[in-house]
Homo-oligomer: A and B are copies of this chain.
């Protein structure tokens, strides 16, 4: 792999795990077996490197989601596929999800950039949600807000490991399957159109 790509990869892991502010170019170079100046040769500044890393992460995320969108024939399959993709990432490359979290922090400088790269997928998802809503195949009022709720749930369940611990569940491969099953059940119930308004308080 080219040095340029190695830097990008290592930076993604480090930024996604320790945060951008928590990662120094020196430390990054050390784990790469390089000097900091070699990093600055490829990327003129730390900010530029971060932007490149965000682009890389967005590209990988989009790429993984593409499989889902292509195969899926309806909304529920898309949700299921997205959960599959996100959970795969959570085990194989948690730093990638951490980086998305880092880049989408309120007030982040790269938030616009990140969301721009994923705009196509977001639009597609919103569109199929809109259709499904109109046809009464899923429950909800606003496709955008529904998509937002779905995203929050999936990403939260996939990444909030410490919260999971707080609930008394130690993260492991065995509990991961359970978590996924429970998440899918949760989402399926939330999208189920047949029961709107049938569950009143108390």
Contact = CB atoms under 8 A, between A and B. Distances in A.
Interface in A81-100: 94, 98
Contacts of A119: 166
B159 A106 contact: yes
Contact of A149 (B98, B165, B182): B182
Contacts of A141: 181-182, 185
Contacts of A178: 142, 145
Contact of A108 (B107, B118, B145, B162): B162
B162 A115 contact: yes
Interface of A: 17, 19, 21-22, 73-74, 76-77, 80, 94, 98, 104-108, 111, 114-115, 118-119, 122, 126, 139-142, 144-149, 151-153, 155-157, 159-169, 178-179, 181-183, 185-196, 198-199, 201-202
Per DSSP, are chain A's interface residues mostly helix, strand or loop, or mixed?
A: helix
Given A119-B166, A189-B189, A198 B194 contact: yes
B190 A198 contact: no
Number of copies: 2
13 contacts: A80-B201, A104-B166, A108-B162, A122-B167, A126-B168, A141-B181, A141-B182, A145-B169, A148-B164, A149-B153, A189-B189, A189-B191, A189-B192
Contacts of A198: 192, 194-195
Given A115-B163, A115-B165, A189-B192, 4 more contacts: A76-B202, A152-B152, A187-B190, A188-B199
Counting chain B CB atoms within 10 Å of each CB, which of A21, A73, A156, A182 scores highest?
A156
Contacts of A22: 21
B199 A194 contact: yes
Contacts of A187: 190
